[in-house]
Structure formats: structure tokens, C-alpha cells
Amino acid sequence: MKVKVELRKKIDESYDVIIEDGKSKMLAKEIIKGGFGRKYFIITDSNVERIIGKRLLAQFAKEKTIAEMVSFPAGEKSKNMQTVSRLAEKMLLLGFDRKDCIIALGGGVTGDVAGFTASIYMRGINFVQVPTTLLAMVDSSIGGKTGVDSALSKNSIGSFKQPKKVYACVEFLQSLPKKELINGMSEVVKHAVITDKGLFKFIESNREKILALDSKTMAFLVKRSCEIKGNVVEKDEREENLRKILNYGHTIGHAIENLGNYSRLAHGEAVSIGMIAEAKISKALGLMNEAEIERIRKLLGKIGLPAKLPNYGLKKIIEKTHSDKKAIGSQVFYALPERIGKMHSVNGRFAIPVQDSTVLKALAH
């Protein structure tokens, strides 16, 4: 005997990324107009709560719409199941239900935590991304990857949950500490390396304007990075193949983040180091040449990003890559550039297994 449960369905989860300067003053009104929920639960961190969160909460009050805000201690160490559990329990206590909406207000950690909470609360409710850092605007707020870290691996517990909308208010960047601006530029450079040599040239030519937070320059960078990330996600939402190119710099990067207990290096710094390390692996495989690697290293250095591996020991770093969620069995897969603007593929596959011995040899020089 057999009972078949037919579950084939097609769901349109498309959404807009709104990139504007000056949008933050009417943000609550815009979100309410979208009709994403009856009540709104704002999740943020302790830094953003003080600088931006209270203003947004006041906007909802002015619009006579119920909104609550809960924060957690800023930093990667809060990106864990305990934080998600506390947030979900607070929502239950406040009476939030399936017709309500979560707002992720903050950087990448907040977006990941809030998005994951939205994906599991009452088996899934709406959420909206309001990124406040460059890294979140250009990368983590788009694509629907959500999750938390474990003691063993970064982002190892998570889900795909697409936001209903992303509001990138470029003026938020003006309140960023310079270190956070530099941190976010790592992902912008990554986008340039993997798909767009023209963007790479633009960053080289406009470095001073970028570091001075010129509004037109930053709006262009955010828009172009969102286009790159969005185009990749459209073609491969669940990271079956093409989306793996977005992991360039992240296999080694995540390993050194974990070995530093998520406190020694910011995510962007780790990715910067990872990009140079993985470019060296590409060279060891006969793909990338030294001139291209040096060009990437030089740009990262001028921005203020590191390129040198921390002194954890190469064998420890390589061992930690095996805990990466992208590893399968005993094989660790890497997305590797052939040159700036073009990623390597084998038989149409963009992530390839690389032997530990090759990685060790590449990173030893």
C-alpha cells in the first residue's frame, strides 16, 4: 500500500532592495505601507538600539502602530541559539503571532539572528531587513541565508528565509565607525573579484571618496554590490552551484574567525585574509597569476584590510576548514578565481575539492 502526498508548488519570493539617501526619516511609514504585519518586533543590538533603534520605535508610535524592540549585546558572540531562544520567548510573552513581522535592524549578526528567528517562530513569519552597516547592505541582507554559530563552526545552524523587503538607508553609513566601513569593503571587493573587473577598477580609482563616505560613491557601491548578489541568488537561491562563488575568501576566512573565537578578527578582516589565501591556492593549482594576486592585496591594503594569516599554525587552520558547512565528507571545497572578474569552474561546477597538501603548500609561501 502507498499513500502519496503531493507537495509540488511554485512560490514567488521576489522582493525589492530599496537604496536611498534620506529614507530613514520615514522608514516606519514605508514599512507599514508595505503591509508586512499587524505588529512589528524590532530586533537589534545594543549599539544600534541606542543610535537608531529608539528613533525608529518613536516613528511607529507616531504612526499609531504597535512595535516592540529587543536588543542583544553587540558582536559575533551573541550569534547563537541562546539569543534566538530568548528572542522567540520574548515574542511569545508579548503576544506576537503569524500575522506579525520581525524587523532586522542592524549589521550582519542582527540580520542573521533576526532572520533565523523569523524562519522558526511559529514555523515562519514575515521579516524585513533594515541593514545599518556597509557589510549588511552589500551582502548579508540579501539572499535569505540566516543562522547562528556553534562552538565548532560559523553559520552551521540556520535556514533559508527571504525577507519581504530590504531598506538600505545609505545615510546610516555616516554613523559607522571607520573600522566598520573598512570591514564592509571586504565584501564589496569580493563581489568585484568574482564577477566585475569594472567595479574593481572603480574601487581602485575612488578609494579616497569611499573612505570619506561620499554619498554618491557609496550609493553606487551599495547598488552595484546588491545587483551582483541579487543576480547570483536569482539563478541559484539554495546554493546548489553558482551561488558558491559568493563563498570566495570564506572557507579560510571562517576557519580563522573560529580559531580566534570570533573576537580577534572582524568578519570582513577574516574574509580579506581568506581572499588572499584562496587566491594563493588558485595559483598553486595553476589558475591565478601572481600579478592578479598582488593587485588584490594592494587594494585591500590601501583600504586598510589585512592580508596576512594570523599565527594560528597552518595545520590548525586547514583542520578547521573541515568543520566548515561547505565541506563534504573528507573533502573541502573552494570557490577560486582565475583572474579578477572571473571564477574558475570544472564541468560547470564552481566549487572544487582541494587536497589539504595543496592548501598547505600554497599557504606556506
Return the active site residues. 123, 145, 187, 229, 239, 243, 247, 250, 254, 267
Helix spans in the chain (H): 27-34, 46-48, 54-62, 81-93, 108-120, 134-135, 178-195, 197-205, 207-211, 215-235, 250-259, 267-284, 290-303, 314-321, 356-363
Q: Which three cell numbers stand for residue 234?
A: 536569482
Question: Whose grid coordinates read 576548514?
Answer: 321
Cα angle vertex 333, ends 148, 149, to 5°? Answer: 10
CA dihedral (18, 200, 324, 312) in degrees, to 10, reads -130
C-alpha cell at 314: 597552518
d(CA 241, CA 289) in angstroms, rounded, equals 25
